[in-house]
Structure 1
Amino acid sequence: MALSAQAPLVLLVADGPQWREGLHQALVQEGYRVQQQPLPMRLQLLSPQAELVQPPDLLILNLPTQRWDLRSTVQQLERLRRRDLSTLFLMLPDEADEQARAALLDAGADDVLVRPFGLREFVARCRAMVRRAKRRELAQRAQDPAQVLRSGGLLLYRQECRVTLDGEEVSLTPREWKLLEYFMLHPGRAFSRDQLIEQVWGPDYSGDNKSVDVHVLWLRRKLEPGSAKPQRFITVRGVGYRFDPPAAGSPAPAEGP
């Protein structure tokens, strides 16, 4: 099959050559360009120094239970996600309870599919992830062509995946970054926890919606330190949360570099 250079690029890192080849063929038949690597590549891929010559559109990572350290994988996935917010991550653990799946999703995975599974579902999950990513990209371009969101002294650089507050860099986790971006795209609008889960965590998230409370708390601590009464991240009783822009007359934001 002749593949277009514009077809999504998939990096498949999985154990077992026969099983890996089966996934490879299913993806190629779907029209994806696929590079496959044996599982030992995982350690190099997730190391803090790892650099991909061509970041894939979708990275698929198999996690055999007998070799899987959940805490280590979560930490490594968070580091990898901080380096690249555009690549989609599909994790394929041999086993994973609800807590493990939620931990992987919170660390930056876009989806988790536990073995065993059928090839039709596997391909459909990949297709849905790519489709959602394209919709988000188009919506973001339409909403903010400048790719810089501003709220008082708070600036979010979407292409650079960084945030500054009064000129100082602020370190955010991937989920905090996405949640802040969504709030700043919709200033003054109240969202329920379920709406935020749907838009930021994604429809396949299987954890508790109280995760929203935790992430809002972390954003307050990082972006409103020492404030007894939050001015940006407002709790709307009986609804959820609202992000408020600065009040009229507030100092203008500093220009970014």
Structure 2
Amino acid sequence: MTAAAVSALEADWPAVRIGSARVLGPIRLAIEAGCWTAVVGPNGAGKSTLLRTLAGLQATDGSVRLHRRTLAELPARERARQLAWMGQNEGTADGLSAHEVVMLGRLPHRGWLAPPSPADLAAVESAMRRTQCLQWRERLLSTLSGGERQRVLLARALAVGAGVLLLDEPLSHLDPPHQADWIDLVRDEVAAGATVVSVLHELQIALQADRLVVMAGGAVVHQGPAGDPATHDALRAVFDNRLQLVQVDGQWLALPRAAR
């Protein structure tokens, strides 16, 4: 980060544990505000656990700060308004319609048992239009395909209207045209001032982000601009130098190398 950069999220912890097992740490991380940051690394690197910890969903021995305030000191409703989350394999809302699922994103803005306001309804419709899922509004989430579900869950995160979005593998099950739509949507969010952090396995798309966080073995081994040579060196290293990074028409591509 540059000296003038402002952090939306900062993490500083010696360890994250699941039971007695240490799964992450030590971690020191600063997520630049108003940027799209992609978290990448091999399977088992700790990417999803890192994102869950940043969201306050996983306990840590240290602290996570959102706009310089620790998550622990933020009232739950205020935190939910500022920080939107989209996780993997969410199935707890299978009995709800797509519209009801997206409306869950408006809960931080509504009073206890209060009906949706006109602002809530408008935010939900806008989010569903942007993710092209409005046509399924009456269908149960359980009846949708994997890609359709992803678009509904993304709409729920957008409906929050939060300044920070944490998205764990949001491209799962999406076909290439809808992946391209997702990139456009993220760029629109960032252009409007939001901060987006996404865990991605799709390295071709991750390389289009503003910044990369490169992980391996439960640690952050590098963070920097996606096009920086040092970032590319770190990316090759965590994948055992089985990647070839090439630039085509101004865009970086990650091509697999066969083992020798």
- TM-score of the superposition, structure 1-length normalised? 0.32
Give the strand-richer structure, 1 or 2.
2
**Structure with greater contact order relative to length (CA < 8 Å, sep ≥ 6):** 2
More helix as a share of residues: 1
User: What TM-score does the superposition give when structure 2 sets the normalisation length?
Assistant: 0.31
Q: Name the larger-Rg structure.
A: 1
